[in-house]
Amino acid sequence: MSESTFAETIAKDQRVEPRDWMPDKYRQTLIRQIAQHAHSEIIGMQPEGEWITRAPTLRRKAILLAKVQDEAGHGLYLYSAAETLGADRGDLTKRLIEGRQKYSSIFNYPTLTFADVGVIGWLVDGAAICNQVPLCRSSFGPYARAMIRICKEESFHQRQGYELLMTMMGGTAGQRAMVQDAVNRWWWPSLMMFGPPDGDSPNSAQSMAWKIKRHSNDELRQRFVDMSVPQAEALGVTLPDPVLRWNAEREHYDFGEPDWSELKRVITGDGPLNRQRIERRRQADSDGAWVREAAAAHAAKHGSGR
Ligand SMILES: [Fe+2]
Ligand SMILES: [Fe+2]
């Protein structure tokens, strides 16, 4: 494959596969994006994982365990996709725990009550789905295929969150207040999951031209708001945005501006829990070192090493 075949593949909306020729910048952009995505799945296990031992019923515990385990699986598919581009998984983990690669800033917020588990499923996994469904058509084959499987599981995550919230909203006044409080805390960070406004998103244009990305940050954010408002109404919660209202002319909801300075602060490492999240990941990496060594020694002994 050559430069012109690459351009043709993109133009025809076909998939670029790992052995095909690709521009170096395309490869680097994908490695960075897929790694950040993988890191987000793995770090994203922490906020909800904290509630596994405190789940109120066996059913809720089983659901939460399955969900957190799914996120580990998503991380694995994505690290594997990055490896097809020549990245080394150990190196990517090192970049994460040394703070040289980012993960989604949403996971730096604390989970204060069990209602947060429901709201994360509804809003955070919901925002992830808006972001990720178009990635199923991403131009890089292994990434697109990983996303198809991930999106199926994410829609289960979103539904389990919504169902949990519906149950709580049908409970006591205290439970309803807990849900509303969690919605108030997670709404704005969820809107920030789509990244900075289009005018302030320097890499977006190139990623769109390469069909790694299919829609702009602001388009996806609008889609998420339009989807969430009727769901909030059905649930009986309010969204903490005084300017949120239907615009009949645009046929979309108008909504307020997230606090972009907060997003910048959290992205650059100064969120409520950045240090704790990375520290926990670093600890898990060193706790698991002996397993990796033993597996490598076993593979070498039995000649099945790569
Ligand atoms: Fe996930
Ligand atoms: Fe998820």
**Model pTM?**
0.93
190 C-alpha vs ligand 2 centroid, how far in Å? 13
244 C-alpha vs ligand 1 centroid, how far in Å? 28
3-state SS string for 237-248: CCCCCCCCEEEC
123 C-alpha vs ligand 1 centroid, how far in Å? 13
Q: What pLDDT, in 10s, does the model give residues 259-304?
A: 999 998 988 888 889 999 999 999 999 999 999 999 999 999 987 6
**Strand duo 245-247 + 252-254: pairing:** antiparallel
Buried b (16+ CB within 10 A) or exposed e, 124-159: bbbbbbbbbbbbbebbbbbbbebbeebbebbeebbe
Q: What pLDDT, in 10s, does the model give residues 173-214?
A: 999 999 999 999 999 999 999 999 998 887 788 888 888 888
Q: What is the C-alpha separation between 201 and 158, in angstroms, rounded?
A: 27
Q: What pLDDT, in 10s, does the model give residues 56-114?
A: 999 999 999 999 999 999 999 999 999 999 999 999 999 999 999 999 999 999 999 99
Q: What is the C-alpha separation between 73 and 67, in angstroms, rounded?
A: 10
Residues with CB under 5 A from ligand 1 (ion): 41, 71, 74
216 C-alpha vs ligand 1 centroid, how far in Å? 21
Predicted confidence at residue 268, as pLDDT, reads: 84
What are 80's two structure tokens? 């594997």
Q: 1 pLDDT band (50/70/90 cuts)? A: low
Point out the ligand nearest to the CA of residue 147.
1
Residue identified by tokens 């133009």 is 11
